[in-house]
Structure formats: C-alpha cells, structure tokens
A and B are shown apart, each in its own frame.
Chain A
C-alpha cells in the first residue's frame, strides 16, 4: 500500500462541483425514445378485428371485444383489441404481427390512476392522450412476422393459354400449398363472408398439416362442389381475408382446390360421411346445377331419396354450360357430381319440368320439391335491330362451345357487357381465333366482372371499348352486322351515387362485326310454374322465406333463381339451407 491509496479516493470530491446527473423532475421532462414501446395505439378504422394480436400475445393481455358503432361486415369482425396492462409486458409482438398494420405503440410511458380498471382499455376507441402519437414503436421497415406475399400460382402464359381450352391455372404442389397455408392466421374473419360459411381456417389448417382427409371432410360439411369452387368461386372470403388488409390475401380458393385435387374420388368415402339409414321420404329437385345438386347431396346424407330432374343432357348447370373449360375443366366438375351421385342421387336428364313431368306431378309424387332452375335466358340488347341474325346470346354461345359445336362467329366479334359472362364469351371467342372487342357502357372500374378476368381477357388480346351506349344494329349487307353506339361520358348525377354514362352529342361510332354477342345478363324461365301450383312469384322470382320455402309449404326454391348474388357458392349455400329445412318438414332435425 502506498500513499496514493490514501489520497486517490479523495478524487471523488471533484464531482461535488459538477452538475448532477440526476434531474429533479424526470417525470415530465423525458420523452420516451422515438422507438419506445409505450402505450398501445390502434387505428380503429384500419383495424379489421382479426385478433391475430390476441393469438400471438403470450400473456393473454389482449381480448377482442365488441365496440360501439362497429358491427361485423365483410372483412371486419366488428371487434377491436382491448389491452390489459395488468398482463401486458410491452413486447410488441402484437404490433409486429398485426396484418393490417393498424396497431402500434406510442412513446408515452406514464399513466397514473387509482382505479385499476382503467388500465384495461381499447386503444383507438377509448380516447387517450397518446392517440395518434407520431413517435413510438412501429414495425421496422423490411421486418414482418407474417408473409404478405402469395405463393405464385403456376399458370399458362397468356400467349399459350389463348391457343386452346386447356386449363390455365395449374394448381399448387404440396410444397406450395403448405407454404401458402402457412400464411393464414386462422382469424376466421373469412368465414362470415362466405355464403356457405365454410370452415376455411379448418381446412387451411388441414392443408398445413398435410391431413387432406380432414380437409376434405371439412369442405364437404358445407360444400359438395370443392373441385368447381376451388377454381371458379367468386371468393368473397379472399376479399375479407385479414392478410389481405396488408398484403395479398391467402389463396383460399386454390387451397380448396388443392385438397380436392389431391384426394382420389375412390378415397372420398374414407373421410366423408354417409346416411346412417334411409328415411323412406322422397324429394324431387328441379335443375342439376350446383344449387340443385347441393340440396340433393345434403338431402341424401340425411337419408332421403332424391331424384333430380334436368332438362340438359349433362349435369352441372351453368358450371358446365356457362363457365368455359379453361376455367373449369369438365373432369373436375364430373368428380364433384360423381361423388354426389355415388350417394344414390338419381339424375334424370332430358326431363324438362313443365313439359314432362309437370310441377304438379312432382308435388304429387314427392314429399317435397326443390326448385333450382337458375337463369337460363339471356337478356336482349333492347335496341333497334337486336333481332338481327348476327346478334347472338352469350350463354347460348358458351353452351354451344361446351357441346363442342361449331360457333360460326366469323372474324370480328363484339361482346356487349361487362360481367363475367361477357369475359367468358370474349375469351371463348378469342380461343376460336376471333378478334374481340368488349363493348361496355361504363368504365373498366365499373365492370362487375372479376378484375382478374378483365385483366386476363385484355392480356389475351381482347380490346376494351369503354363508355359505349348501344344505339342500334344494322345489317352490313355482307353477311355481318353494323353495331352503332354513342360514346358517353361519366356524369355524377347525385352525390354519393355511382356516376352514370351520358351520351356525348354527335359522338356516334359505327363498327362492322361478323357477330355481336349480347352478354348483359340473364333472366329466369318460370313458365313451368303454373297458377294451379300456388307458388307465389313476384318480380320474376318465387317468393321464399329465409330457409327457401315458397308459399307452398312443400316447395322450396333457391340458387340464381332466387338469390341476389348469383354465383355458385350462394346457390350451394341455398341448396344446403333448403335441404335442412326440407328435412325438418319431413320429420328430421335438419342437421
């Protein structure tokens, strides 16, 4: 020990004259760092209430709760996360995982209250001083816990696709399907938006786990057309998908197709239920479209004897005679139908109800009748000259294509309309080597067709003529027809309503076409319902209650004939609902 050891410690005294490190009132003088993980904030309008934050929180600090002024709607559960600061550890995993990116944290960290209850609050809904804070923890750029990009689907190129009717979408491989299924957070927001309320998280989970038998069973619980719907469904679920709130929605439709594609028809029986015993009751179904056959499937499962009356030579309705085979190949549709048939459902082809047999006869011979006759007749263009022989009906053209008939469209074709039928007709014509103009009265954004369909039709070479109001059809004198339309501009007539096309005076265009295909909508064919049947019809629709029951207690109706959505899955849901209701009137429990 030397003298330094005695003296050196006194060096501490030099600090006595320095400014102290400590501050007297740190409480309101020190803001948290810009990244500070302070109190939660939530942009309640961006939030979709998916509850992924709740799933990841290891402390169970988050509960999804109903909040005033929000109700469930497509893609929004109507719930919002409530955080419990008695549990939260401020890890911000909830912020990291939030699909919509609505959740964040402010850099506020002081909150003093004597009431412990207040520390459980709904960020963004219960007002707080830190609402809208600029600073605080946010998910860093380039950092995500979830994969927001969809696994790309192998598809034929447009150049390749337009040459034939081969299916465009090739389907996922196992590895691709499992990777896509991994993106799902199983929030279930999609379920509410699906007309059939399919157990989407359930079957996606089955894909992820490689358990396709369970997957198939879950599909068939609500939908006996997985092959078809896995290809052509309008997929309201994907618009609702929470992942879609911040990236590409999960490819729910293609995962459904993956399950159905992977399981051989011969193996369906291993996972799907069968009727335990026959009830001895008989039900007639009119129309072998997806709606009629779904009703038939669920009725057969409940033990009833089902006979389907179908005027066409093959089953499937518009799935076969409307949708072209490059979107839905016939073997896929056949697989769905064959399984339904295998339950003992009898389909009588060439049986046009109204001619032979009459509806009255069915009511007499069967305990109940389900009507699902769809919308078979196309609307006319409703302009002078629309009876010209070169003006064709879109659904008839598609049906002829299905039957493999020569279409005789000529070289230049106009397709009038903006819906899916128009796109299908246009792309069918392209595949038959025609030059195609799609003529629509409004703008592309206003078209009711699936945007993907529009994009593809254009990519395959169709020319889109927007804002064209048909005026008349004239004979061109050389075997074709002249189509005359007036160019229009979009006018906002009433605020909040969608703008309407107004003809621009003098801007009249005439084009010569070999064929003009009208695809502006279809209507029902109800002549088979006679007054004596007593089925009340209003505005060309049988009047039904929520279960599909008409004014005649044993007659039910559904599908395109009745519902507003006019897509396959809604027809399927109608069929299922009606089957349960019919079961109840036949003495069953309807499950």
Chain B
C-alpha cells in the first residue's frame, strides 16, 4: 500500500510555473547543500512553502576523472579512482581493479577476494553511518549525527589500520590488495562491530520510534514502483519500493555467493521506509562482516603478480563491472585499445539518476522544510555524478 504525502505526478507532466505572475519565489538550495551530500544545488520554485518545480544543478564538483584516466597508466589510475565518490572510495577501487583484471585475464587470489569483500562491507557500513546522521539531522536530530559520525570514525580507524588511510584507502589494487591484515586487526573489527551494533540499537530506538520522524518522513518522497525501471533506480531506493534486487546476490561477485544473507526488501517506498531499510542493511552489514572475519583464509597470497606497472599494456577490449554500493549499482565501463592507458572509462554512479531525475520529480509539492530530508532519503553523492 502506498502512503504518499504528495499527489502523484506522472514523470512527463511538468508544470511550467509562470514566474512573472508574482505567485512564486525562486529559491536556490545549495551548492553547499544542507544534507551533507556535497556540492550541488537545487533551483526550487516555491509557492507558499511548497515546492512547485525543481531543477537540479550540478557542475560545482567536476574534476574530469574519466578524461584524466585516459592520460594515466593503468596502474596510475588506481590512486585516482577512489576520489570519484568520496564517502565510498572502495567501490571505485574494486570496480576499476575488477574491470582491468577481466580485460587482462587475471585471476585474483582467494585471500584478496575475501579482503576485498571485507573492505567493501566495512565502507558500506561507514557510508551508511554517515548517511544516517545526515538523515536524522535533516529532520532535526543533530544528536544522532554526533553518534553516528563517531561510529563511522571507528570504522575509519579500522581502515587506517588495514590500509594506512582513513578516507582514501587505496587498498584494492589491480591484482589483489596491497597488504594482508595487520596483527590484531580482526579482533579490532569484531570489537568495533559490537560497539557499532549497540549504538545502532540506540539510534533505532530514538530515530525510528520517534513521533517527529514519523510525522515528517512517513509518506515523504514516495517512489511509485513503475518509476524504478523507468529511471534506473537501484539499491535501497528500489528495494524500498518492493524490488528484490541486489547485485551482491544477482551478480554474485567477490565472496558474496559464499555468504549467507537475503536482500532486505520494503514496500512503502517513502523516506521512512528507505531509512528503515538502510538501518536493516546496516545490521545485515555487521553480520556480513562477522561472517567474513570467520571465513577469511589465514594463509595464502593476497596479490597476483602483474607486469611492470610502467609498461603494463592491457589487451584491447571493453567491459562493464558493477557492484552493489550503498546507493545501488556502481559500475565502471572500461575500454582498452591495447595500450598502456585506458582508451575510455565511464563511471556509472547511482546518484546520477537518484539526485537528478528522480529528485526533480519527487520534490514537487513537498514542503521546503522537507527538501533536505527528501534529498538525503535518496542517499546521493554528487561527487559521483560529476566524474
């Protein structure tokens, strides 16, 4: 059953407000967006305190990564790709490495497969922790952000221990990973998971059993199921609309086929449902991390020998590698012309769809106070829109 707050607007129906009528106010939200989602802005047309029309504006963060990559050696792109989506660098590292490995016909050692899975699940948790603070904050709960950002920092401590970096881990390198786990690391992982889990329970209590949250989020930003395929909506946004789609299951990459989990699916498809679903995925993520720690082989190589990175040429070909990130399908399309640099790289981030097409349509009729909450409920990262 749907519970939209706003009347359904078919995607093709776009009212063009007459700005000269004096009825409307044009208001820019951003480019420093209140929803900690990075630099983009919304040009809102307001009538009273509800939004009549919205145009998204990106371009504040364009760094030209895809083009830059065409001028760098295959291995030199490894430290570059992580910067495409700042809060979740590891998915870039994984997709890029996996694409190269596929083109070059490289088999990654099992240990590296597990370590890659571990770092992807750790960053999923860290990224959700950042999101949940933003989501709560957007609805007026600053306290939760204080907690969750701390929890995220604990996960980043783990990354620092594993990879030597907190934000940009540069750990998943073509061929495998850069190092085995340091001594005591797995114990720290488990200890951290206990702390995070406890905190998430507190967060669940105060955020999801919360009259204000319910009043503001229930029914907000309802995504009709027929939009899902129309706009290419993926990840929690699609699952909250009832779609049991998760690349970890559907594509079965890395160690996921060897882990036991079921995609979390919702039905209500509004901001509250999406938030609940993500919370459930956080608990699920903690469980996955514990499983990975259990399964992680203690012996064996963690990287396959590759040719000299200064001369490495990859046979001509093209491929698309995708992974399930916190926001949905994250993918790298890589073309090699047989040379020592990529001919073309295109990055598919879920935020492009969610923050541009979907947001522009969902925001109509929404109270301006809820725009930030709605935006965050789509969980978008503008840096990945602009590669």
Q: Which residues of A contact B (CB under 8 A)?
A: 1, 4-6, 8-9, 11-12, 15, 21-22, 32-37, 52, 55-56, 58, 89-93, 96-97, 105, 137, 140-143, 145-147, 182-186, 208
Contact = CB atoms under 8 A, between A and B. Distances in A.
Contacts of A58: 72-73, 76-77, 79-80
Contacts of A21: 146, 150, 153
Contact of A5 (B144, B146, B161, B211): B211
Given A8-B205, A8-B206, A143-B179, A33 B161 contact: yes
Given A12-B143, A58-B77, A183-B308, A33 B164 contact: yes
Contacts of A15: 143, 147, 202
B169 to A, nearest CB: 10
B230 to A, nearest CB: 33
Contacts of A146: 308-309
A430 to B, nearest CB: 39
Contacts of B67: none
B214 interface: yes
A35 B164 contact: yes
Nearest to A208: B311
B78 interface: yes
A33 B79 CA distance: 20
A145 B77 contact: no
Nearest to B76: A58
B309 A1 contact: no
B187 interface: no
Q: Give chain A's interface secondary structure class.
A: loop
Contacts of A147: 305, 308
Nearest to A105: B164
Interface in B123-174: 141, 143-144, 146-147, 150, 153, 157, 160-165, 168, 170
Interface string B180-223: 10100000000000000000001001100111101100000000
B312 to A, nearest CB: 9
Closest 9 CB pairs of A and B: A91-B79, A140-B179, A58-B76, A8-B209, A37-B164, A35-B164, A21-B150, A5-B211, A33-B160
Contacts of A37: 164-165
A146 to B, nearest CB: 6
A91 B79 CA distance: 6
A357 B206 CA distance: 109
B79 A11 contact: no
Given A1-B211, A5-B214, A34-B182, A92 B308 contact: no
14 contacts: A4-B209, A11-B206, A33-B161, A36-B160, A37-B165, A56-B73, A56-B75, A58-B79, A91-B79, A96-B178, A105-B164, A182-B308, A185-B308, A208-B311
A97 B163 CA distance: 17
A91 B143 CA distance: 34
B164 A97 contact: no
Contacts of A143: 178-179, 302-303
B168 A89 contact: yes
Interface in B233-251: none
Contacts of A9: 141, 206, 209-212
Contacts of B163: 35
B387 to A, nearest CB: 16
Contact of B310 (A32, A55, A89, A141): A55
A11 B180 CA distance: 41
Best-surrounded residue of B150, B202, B308 (most CB of chain A within 10 A): B308
Contacts of B164: 33, 35-37, 92, 105, 137
A146 B75 CA distance: 12
B307 interface: yes
A6 B211 contact: yes
B315 interface: no
A190 to B, nearest CB: 16
B178 to A, nearest CB: 6
Nearest to B141: A9
A277 B65 CA distance: 54
Given A12-B206, A143-B178, A184-B308, 16 more contacts: A5-B210, A8-B205, A9-B209, A11-B206, A21-B153, A33-B157, A35-B164, A35-B179, A89-B79, A91-B79, A137-B164, A142-B180, A142-B303, A145-B306, A182-B308, A183-B308
Interface residues of B, number: 47
Contacts of A36: 160, 164-165
A56 B73 CA distance: 9
Nearest to A36: B164
A21 B170 CA distance: 27
B301 interface: yes
A11 B161 contact: no
A182 B165 contact: no
Contact of B182 (A1, A35, A55): A35
A591 to B, nearest CB: 31
A93 B75 contact: yes
A11 B205 CA distance: 8
A92 B170 contact: yes
Contact of B307 (A89, A90, A93, A182): A182
B34 to A, nearest CB: 21
Contacts of A12: 143-144, 206
Nearest to A140: B179
A333 to B, nearest CB: 33
Nearest to A186: B310
Contacts of B309: 56, 93, 97, 145-146
A186 B182 CA distance: 34
Nearest to A21: B150
Contacts of A22: 150
B5 to A, nearest CB: 15
Contact of B75 (A141, A142, A145, A185): A145
B161 A1 contact: no
A146 B312 CA distance: 11
Contacts of A90: 165, 168
Contacts of B143: 12, 15
Nearest to A34: B182
A34 B181 CA distance: 12
Nearest to B165: A37
Nearest to B160: A33
A101 B299 CA distance: 25
Nearest to B77: A58
Q: Which of A89, A96, A142, A143 has the most CB of B within 10 A?
A: A143
Residue from B141, B144, B164, B212 having most chain A Cβ neighbours under 10 A? B164
A195 B153 CA distance: 58
Nearest to B207: A9
A8 B157 CA distance: 31
A21 B306 CA distance: 43
A8 B210 contact: yes
Contacts of A55: 310
A6 B214 CA distance: 11
A35 B211 CA distance: 46
Contacts of B210: 5, 8-9
A143 B302 CA distance: 8
A140 B180 contact: yes
Contacts of A11: 202, 205-206
